[in-house]
Chain A
Amino acid sequence: MDDFTPIEDFISPGLPVDPANTVGREALGDPEGVPELSDVNCPDELREAIEASMAKYPDHKSASIPALWAIQRLYGWCTPEGILQAAAVMKVTPAYLESVASFYDLFRLEPAGEAQVLVCTNISCWMRGGDELLDAFCEAAGADRGEAGHGGALSEDGKVLVSGFECLGACDLAPMASVNERYYGPLAPEDAETVIGQLKDGSEILPGKALSARPLPGGDEESSDERVTSSKGPNK
């Protein structure tokens, strides 16, 4: 690897790097061999979680995404060690798991802090100020705004990951953010500082703005339509 040319120079000398061209990361050990379970020091809880997932599918390879989730839940991100351990349990190559991990946006291949804030910047949120919300989160957390828009940036203390994200499926909350996998919205830029503060002192995140507390927009009134009220199916 001594004569390794950084890919950004190879692809577009002097030009901004296209985020689609990723360099990948250095493999730990032989990426093409199936590691032995006895060599990788796999924690029991990880092994058990992966084995439980493998049992749910007709083909054990289907457990690759659940296995990567298990690694991420245990270590905070998909560490090279974790990939090696999961590969040993699943009897696949680390390269295979790595290829899957690098495909999906929610798998982190770098340290991802203790808390994650994903700010939606897709069309509906963008119209309602999603970019400004991401600015505010970056400022409140002290995260790099440029990096945050390209896969995420850590706060100054390394504890909170702030990331712009594509549509999270909550356009009714626009502009919204997913904080530790729970949805909140609609958020004003001022809410960013509150959320970062709440993450730091471990208090409940914006209780009034959680998706789980949101009523149906059309209210609670049920249809009086006779076809509905006389229905014999569920929801009677």
Chain B
Amino acid sequence: MSIVETRVLLRHASDPNLKTIEGYRSHGGYATLEKAYDEIEPDSIVDTLEESGLRGRGGAGFSMGKKVSFLPHGNQTKYLCCNADESEPGAFKDRELMQRNPHQLIEGIVIASYAAGIDHAFIFIRGEYDRQADILDDAVAEAYEAGYLGKNILGSNHSLELTVHRGAGAYICGEETALLDALEGKRGNPRLKPPFPAVQGLYGGPTLINNVETLANVSHIVANGADWFKSFGTEQSPGTKVVSISGGVKRPGNYEVELGVKLRDLIYGLAGGPLDGHEVKAFYPGGSSSPVLTPAELDLPYSFEAMAEAGSMLGSGSIIVADDSVSIPHMALRTARFYHHESCGKCTPCREGTNWTVKMLERVVRGEATPMDLDIITSVQHNIIGHCLCVLGDSMAMPVSAMVNKFRDEFEEVIASAALEGLPSTAGRESQEEGVEPGPGGTGSKVLERIRLQGRPVPESAQTAREELPRA
């Protein structure tokens, strides 16, 4: 293994006592908070955070310090929402951070709230993370008892309430404005921006929304300074990152590394590479909403800027590896079905676009599509991107169009084999929803022509098999 982890946030995470306040304090926990209340001015914390270049770990990668500085000064009720909804397929790092070290998050929240003059903070945790929410509840109770939360924290004139709020199963609530609606007790529909939450968020008040991992970094930065933080990672992506690696690898899980390590080291080094007898075919570098990359891009550094340059994104830092046993069209369908299921229905391009993308991809795997349909699929994606209140639709459109563009031959082959054999391609594993039935053939003959024109081999038995099938 040519690479080792750089554990800052996950340091001592194997210690089961770290969950408790004594365990956390025995490793220096809450010392930074005490020091901050004692001798650091709130404004200078904001400056340190801004100078550190800490970028949001939830997906967008926006500077955390800038976000804090956007909050209006002055005496008014301000809120902080920690986004612990983590529902992006492929992401499971916040689960690890909250489950193993809840106080690290709480300390970060208190310091950020002190810096921005916030009086009420919420942790919005997805309802599925029941165990993690229980752990947080216990940790919050301990922090109240120790005087790190509540009225006049450590004798200062800053008071902070912290409420753990459980969601109830909706991907959309990870979107910051939908999260606010859900927290206000409504259906989780995204809001029009601007006004941005920093100006008008929860209950109409200025609101700072940050991901779990972002807030977990705060006490480390305040304790060690911006330069220390910048000594990790790259110039534009400073710090360490907990990377969730899953899919077709030998050792899936969370690994904390400096940003800018090679993707190959992550996938082959830490995660052990693809399962025996398989090869990497494609991978999502930043959760299911990031455009897929191919093995040719394995030597890129894993940083916000390098992923953006490669036409994808680092997102929440979740790598899903598809090995050569995975059929890309089926993977596209599985991805699209997820977004179709989760679309809240507020904006037409997303509601209809995800629906029609699923329908068209179903036709692809049933062999009822034509190559022209692949162009229509891409054009539908173009009509979703940037046309909705939030990026849920874009999150389907980006990976699906990347898959169609990068693996177009495979899409055509799947159409052809499904059409000719009247069966879904055996190359892919069947998807659960809808139960894609063997198709009756349909317009696959056009694909057949295309395959013949390209001089590719056509299975001999296929033609007769197709003719024997009754039409629907």
Interface residues, chain A, with chain B CB atoms under 8 Å away: 18-20, 56-59, 61-66, 68-69, 99-100, 103-107, 118, 121-124, 126-131, 134, 146, 149-150, 164, 166-172, 174, 178, 181-183, 211-212, 215-218, 220, 222-223, 225, 227-228, 231-236
Q: How many angstroms from the CA of A227 to the CA of B270 in the assembled complex?
A: 21
Complex CA gap A177/B135 in Å reads 20
Residues 250-283 of chain B, each 1 if its beta carbon lies under 8 Å from chain A, else 0: 0111110000000000000011000000000000
Q: A166-B342, A172-B254, A217-B254 in contact; A181/B130 too (CB < 8 A)?
A: yes
Chain B residue nearest in CB terms to A64: B185
A218/B253 in contact, CB under 8 A? yes
A57 near B169 with CB under 8 A, answer no
B contact residues around A234 at 8 Å (CB): 24, 27-32, 103-104, 107, 219-220, 223
**Interface check B50, CB cutoff 8 A:** no
Indicate if the CB atoms of A149 and B342 lie closer than 8 Å. no
CB distance from A155 to the nearest CB of B (A): 18
By a CB distance below 8 angstroms, the chain B residues around A183 are 131
The digit string for B295-324, where 1 denotes a CB below 8 A from any CB of A, is 000000000000000000000001010110
Considering the complex, give the chain A residue whose CB is closest to the CB of B33: A234
Q: Which residue of A lies closest to B130 (CB)?
A: A181
Find out whether the CB atom of B246 lies under 8 angstroms from the CB atom of A171.
yes
Bound complex: CA of A149 vs CA of B434, how far in Å? Answer: 8
Chain B residue nearest to A65 in the complex (CB): B168
| Interface of B toward A, CB cutoff 8 Å | 4-14, 18, 24, 27-32, 77, 86-92, 94-96, 99, 101, 103-104, 107, 120, 126-131, 161, 163, 165-171, 182-188, 203, 219-224, 228, 231-232, 244-248, 251-255, 270-271, 284, 288, 318, 320, 322-323, 326, 331, 334-335, 338, 340-342, 344-345, 355, 429-435
Whether A126 touches B231, Cβ cut-off 8 Å, given contacts A65-B166, A225-B6, is: no
Cβ contact within 8 Å between B90 and A171: yes
Q: What residues of B have a CB within 8 angstroms of the CB of A149 in the complex?
A: 432-435
Q: From known contacts A103-B188, A228-B11, infer whether A217 and B183 are also in contact, taking CB-CB under 8 Å.
A: no
A82 to chain B, nearest CB (A): 15
With contact pairs A59-B203, A107-B168, A215-B14 given, residues A167 and B101 touching in the complex (Cβ less than 8 Å): no
Contact indicator A228/B170 (Cβ below 8 Å): no
- For the A-B complex with A127-B322, A233-B221, A234-B107 known, give 8 more contacts whose Cβ atoms are closer than 8 Å: A58-B77, A65-B167, A123-B284, A123-B288, A128-B247, A172-B253, A181-B131, A235-B28
CB distance from B129 to the nearest CB of A (A): 7
In the bound complex, do residue B13 and residue A216 qualify as a contact, i.e. CB atoms below 8 Å apart? yes
- Are A131 and B89 in touch, CB under 8 angstroms? no
Shortest beta-carbon distance, A78 to chain B, in Å?
10
Are A235's CB and B101's CB within 8 A? yes
A117 to B303, CA, bound (A): 37
- Note all chain B residues with C-beta closer than 8 A to A225: 6
- Evaluate contact between B29 and A58: CB separation under 8 angstroms: no
Contacts of A233 in B (CB 8 A): 28, 32, 219-224
Q: How far is the CA of A129 from the CA of B351 in the complex (A)?
A: 29
Contact A59 B185 (CB under 8 A): yes
In the bound complex, what is the Cα–Cα distance between A172 and B250 (angstroms)? Answer: 10
A183 vs chain B, min Cβ distance (A): 7
C-alpha spacing A170/B126, complex, angstroms = 13
Q: Which residues of A contact B89 (CB under 8 A)?
A: 122-124, 166-167, 171
Give Cα A150–Cα B337 distance, bound, in whole angstroms: 12
> What CA separation (Å) do A216 and B164 show in the bound complex?
25
Give A20 to B130 CA distance when docked, in angstroms. Answer: 27
Question: Across the two chains, which residue of chain A brings its CB closest to B18?
Answer: A235
Contact B14 A220 (CB under 8 A): yes
B8 is contacted by which of A131, A167, A228 (Cβ under 8 Å)? A228
Q: Which A residues touch B12, using CB under 8 A?
A: 222, 235
**Listed A/B pairs (11) with beta-carbon separation below 8 Å:** A66-B166, A121-B431, A124-B90, A126-B334, A127-B320, A146-B435, A166-B341, A171-B246, A172-B252, A227-B232, A234-B28
**Residues on B with beta carbons closer than 8 Å to the beta carbon of A61:** 184-186
Chain B min CB distance to A189 (Å): 13
| B251 contacts A127, C-beta separation under 8 Å | no
Q: In the complex, what's the smallest C-beta–C-beta distance from A76 to chain B, in angstroms?
A: 15
For the complex, give the distance between the alpha carbons of A76 and B166 in Å. 17
Provide the residues of chain A in CB contact with B248, threshold 8 Å: 127-128
Asked if residues A20 and B432 are in contact (CB atoms below 8 Å), the reply is: no
For the complex, give the distance between the alpha carbons of A18 and B335 in Å: 18
Do A170 and B432 contact each other (CB < 8 Å), given the known contacts A182-B131, A231-B8? no
Once A103-B188, A172-B253, A222-B11 are accepted as A-B contacts, the answer to whether A58 and B335 lie under 8 Å apart by CB is: no
